[in-house]
Amino acid sequence: MRIEDVKTEQDVKEFLKDSPKFATAVYLVTYKMPYGKVCTYGRVAKLIGKPGASRAVANTLHNNPLFPVVPCWRVVKADGGFGGDPKAAAGRRGRVQSEGVRIRDGKVVMNSDVLY
DNA sequence: CCCGTGACCGACT
DNA sequence: CAGTCGGCCACGG
């Protein structure tokens, strides 16, 4: 299964059939995130029934094998900041901003409107 | 099965 | 409001 052919939720599941259960759940939730919205690592953890696993979520998204099908750039830190390698972080910030999300001091302006 | 590794979080100073 | 601190947890070696 090639990444170019992944176009539906089923395709995503198929592509990740050999991945750990937790990782699959993370990518699936992220896959559903709407354009122009963002979510925090902690919230994603709760959404998949693993409250407290924010770090694990981050580790997982760091190795996103389905970029850009799975919009991992829409997942940010609790304070709206972008973690990881500064270069990559800047790239994700640019994408989020291009989707119309307001950025201030390098961080997403967190509010109920942009929060998924 | 223990251990180190992080794109983290919330509480507290 | 900016740091610090302890706790968290899946994953791979």
pLDDT in tens, A22-54: 999 999 999 999 999 999 999 999 999 999 999
Cβ of A77 less than 7 A from strand B: yes
Tell me the two tokens of residue A1.
Answer: 């299964």
Hey, which residues of A are catalytic here? 72
pLDDT at residue A76, as a whole number:
98
Element at A54 (helix H, strand E): helix A54-62
Which nucleotide lies closest to A79 by the C1' atom and the CA atom? B9
DSSP tag of A33? P
pLDDT over 70 for what percent of chain A?
A: 100
Task: Specify the 3-state DSSP secondary structure of A40.
Answer: strand
Instruction: Give the integer Cα–Cα distance in Å for A52 and A91.
Output: 27
The class of domain A3-108 in CATH terms is: mainly alpha
| CB contact at 8 A, A27 and A75 | no
Nucleotide nearest to A76 (CA to C1'): B7
Answer for the pair A22, A16: CB distance below 8 angstroms, yes or no: no
For A58-115, write each residue's pLDDT tens digit: 999 999 999 999 999 999 999 999 999 999 999 999 999 999 999 999 999 999 999 9
